[in-house]
Chains A and B, each alone.
Chain A
Amino acid sequence: MNTERLIHDYIDGTLEHTQEEQLFMSLSSNDELRNEFRQQMAIKNAIQNDTKSFTPKAGSEAAIFGALGFSSGNAPIDIPKPAPSGFSRFWAKYSQGFIGGIAASVATILLMIGLNDNDDSNNQMADNSKPEYNKLNIEVPVSESYADNKPISEEQFASNQIISTKDIFTGGFNGFGLLQPDYNSINKRNIEAINRSEMVNNYYPVSFDYNEHERLIHTDISSYSGINKHNLSIEIHGNNFFSNKSENIKPSETQPFNNFGATVFYKLNNEIKFGLGYQRENYYQTFIGVDNHGYLWEYEQKPNFQTFTLDFRYSPEYLSGKYLKPALQLSVGGNQAGPVGKAMIGSEIKINPYFNLMVGGNWSILGFHHQNRFFTSDKFGLYIGTGVNL
């Protein structure tokens, strides 16, 4: 292959890596070739700066949109809004959590009504009840996530929402700005899907072994005599989360009942509850990856997740009052991307023997892999839940 062709292929982005060395050696020792390189670059640069060719007339755009019955104008205009008042800011920040809590309360009341209607069947269940709390039929969710090492199709790309990429490695390297692959093609080449079944097998805790002699918190469990349905409760909760990193993106589509969840608790005694939890939520993820051309890219995404957790709630009796019952909750679990850990400090608010509210501050962390690197994403937020004792 002649050097003119090598230069062409190099600028074209199609030169084999092994031939680059040959080209650079030739360039370093040959003035004529360097001139050839400059000339080809000049042509390329001139074409890239040909803004006129790439810009349709405004009239054309209006004509197309008009013919198809669309409004003129390409995108909604951002009209500056007045600065929100104090209450508006507060509401904007915490509305999701409050609405979640209220919705959770309504859902819980409806659930309670349903349970009362089926009282007879509940009694039958009590007769046949067996400890089944370690069994969990996990229906693998339809994942919108990724961050593993397998390529996915462009179609999956849309739902997986790689939001943006930015070159953090080659900015100084490619002075001509020609060798950076096309934005869309980079996304296509680099998006990777998670192996969901592997995630579940690897990360989802399917059992929890309680060892009385090794427990961290010594509590009297001498009265424990197996599962009793009257010690079961359901807590439906809503959350309002904020990532600890500065988020530049949002999900392209928010899943239904996002930031809602439910936990089934078993009360071991007055201080300790164990639970199985389910939560629909987002994590803002940033991670880096290397593409086929050796470029290092930083990715950002905020996919929708469905997280399953095993929960442990400790409410020391000496802190408990008539209405308030301060509690510490620790959770471990997993979702489509990887293992999840959560911690919460808050208080149960007793309403009556059947109902209680739970309000707390919650911190969550997600661990995930991409190209054999490990990344984490954490967030904090408000937790409002409504519990029903069965």
Chain B
Amino acid sequence: MEKDFKFIGDEQLLVIMTDDESKHSEVEGAFKEIYNRHSGKVHAYILKIIGDEDTTEDLFQDTFIRFYNRAKSGKHSNVIGFLITIARNLCLNHKRNKKQTVQIDEFEYLAYDTQNYDNKELLDLIERSMDLLEDDYREAFVLREYTGLNYDEISEIMNITTINARSKVFRAKKKIKEILKPYLNDISKI
């Protein structure tokens, strides 16, 4: 009988994926289920850290291929943590080779037309304000808000304390709020 992978936990899926006795169809099914569950979060993380869409797609593909190839190399109990760690290393390598620049002039247009914004516009503004955050604040914010990791997982991935992780997420949000203050004030009036 064919397994219904939707009802199997992450850790067990990883076991199926790495078990030498698993059939090819089972390995494929387990991998695809993990992909289904976590691809959105991994993609969002890379996009928010890198910014560029084409590079994001490259790193995103590389992340899942490396995940598959490395899954057998050790015990990984936290699949999303494992995936994000791979994605993070790829992002760091990529950024090391490319100087990060912030387009301040582009951001200045935020001062115009504060009326009639919608959710998409607000999202766009948030994205641009995130570009102005320091790297570690942005990363902590993305890990919490986009990938939904808890603070213990964030602290492990970023190699910081849990308290520090909480503080970084809070300060990042505070900074974003400060940047978007004129727009957010309009929201409050609605």
Tell whether A47 is near chain B: CB-to-CB under 8 Å: yes
Interchain CB contact under 8 A, B173 and A50:
no
- A selection of 15 A-B contacts at a CB cut-off of 8 Å is A8-B170, A8-B173, A35-B185, A43-B173, A43-B176, A45-B119, A50-B146, A54-B40, A56-B43, A61-B35, A74-B35, A75-B36, A158-B11, A158-B12, A158-B13
Q: A43-B176, A60-B57, A154-B77 are in contact. Are A53 and B47 (CB under 8 A)?
A: yes
Kindly state the separation between the CA atoms of A31 and B89 in the bound complex, as whole angstroms. 45
Closest to A156 in B: B9
Q: Which of B1-15 contact A (CB under 8 A)?
A: 1, 3-5, 7-13
B12 touches A159 (CB 8 A): yes
Consensus secondary structure, chain A interface? helix
B47 contacts across to A, CB distance below 8 A:
53
Determine how close the nearest CB of chain A comes to the CB of B11; give it in whole angstroms.
5
Q: Is B111 an interface residue (CB 8 A)?
A: no
Whether the pair A44, B64 counts as a contact (CB closer than 8 A) is no
Report the Cα distance A59→B7, complex, angstroms.
27
Asked if A245 is at the interface (CB within 8 A of a chain B CB), the reply is no
Distance A314 CA – B65 CA, assembled complex (angstroms) = 64
CA distance A50 to B60 in the complex (A): 17
Inter-chain contact A59/B57, CB cutoff 8 Å: yes
- A53-B43, A53-B48, A155-B12 known; A40+B35 contact, CB < 8 A: no
Mask for A32-45, Cβ within 8 A of B = 1, else 0? 00010011101111
Interface, chain B (partner A; CB < 8 A): 1, 3-5, 7-13, 28, 31-32, 35-37, 39-41, 43-44, 47-48, 57, 60-61, 64-65, 68, 77, 119, 122-123, 126, 144-146, 148, 150-151, 166, 169-170, 173-174, 176-177, 180, 184-185, 187-188
Q: In the bound complex, do residue B9 and residue A157 qualify as a contact, i.e. CB atoms below 8 Å apart?
A: yes
10 other A-B residue contacts (CB within 8 Å) besides A49-B123, A158-B9, A249-B7:
A40-B173, A40-B177, A42-B122, A43-B180, A47-B146, A53-B44, A67-B61, A158-B12, A182-B148, A253-B1
Q: Is the CB of A39 within 8 A of B77?
A: no
What is A's interface to B at a CB cutoff of 8 Å? Answer: 4-5, 8, 12, 14, 35, 38-40, 42-47, 49-50, 53-57, 59-61, 63-65, 67-68, 70-71, 74-75, 154-155, 157-159, 161, 163, 182, 184-185, 187, 249-250, 252-254
Most chain B CB within a 10 A radius of its CB, from A12, A50, A159? A50
Given contacts A39-B184, A46-B122, contact A253 B3 (CB under 8 A): yes
- B36 contacts which chain A residues (CB < 8 A)? 74-75
Chain A residue contacts of B64, Cβ below 8 A: 64
* Residues of chain A within 8 A of B37, CB atoms compared: 184
Chain B: which residue is nearest A183 at the CB level?
B37
Q: Is the CB of B170 within 8 A of A70?
A: no
By a CB distance below 8 angstroms, the chain A residues around B61 are: 60, 63-64, 67
Q: Is A46 a contact partner of B170 (Cβ separation < 8 A)?
A: no
How far, in Å, is B143 (CB) from chain A's closest CB? 12
Given A35-B188, A67-B65, A154-B77, A56–B60 Cβ distance below 8 Å?
Answer: yes
Contacts of A158 in B (CB 8 A): 8-9, 11-13
Cα distance A281–B71 when bound, in Å?
A: 35
Contact status A252-B187, CB under 8 Å: no
Q: Identify the 5 closest CB pairs spanning chains A and B, nearest first.
A: A158-B12, A54-B40, A35-B188, A158-B9, A53-B44
Minimal Cβ-Cβ distance residue in A for B8: A158
Shortest CB–CB separation between residue A151 and chain B, in angstroms? 14
A8-B170, A39-B187, A47-B123 known; A252 vs B8 contact (CB < 8 Å):
yes
Cα distance A379–B138 in the bound complex, in angstroms? 54
A320 to B138, CA, bound (A): 82
- Min CB distance B152 to A, Å, is 12
Report the nearest A residue to B27, measured CB to CB. Answer: A70
Closest A residue to B68 by CB, please name it: A68
The answer to whether B44 and A54 touch across the interface, beta carbons within 8 angstroms, is: yes
CB distance from A281 to the nearest CB of B (A): 16
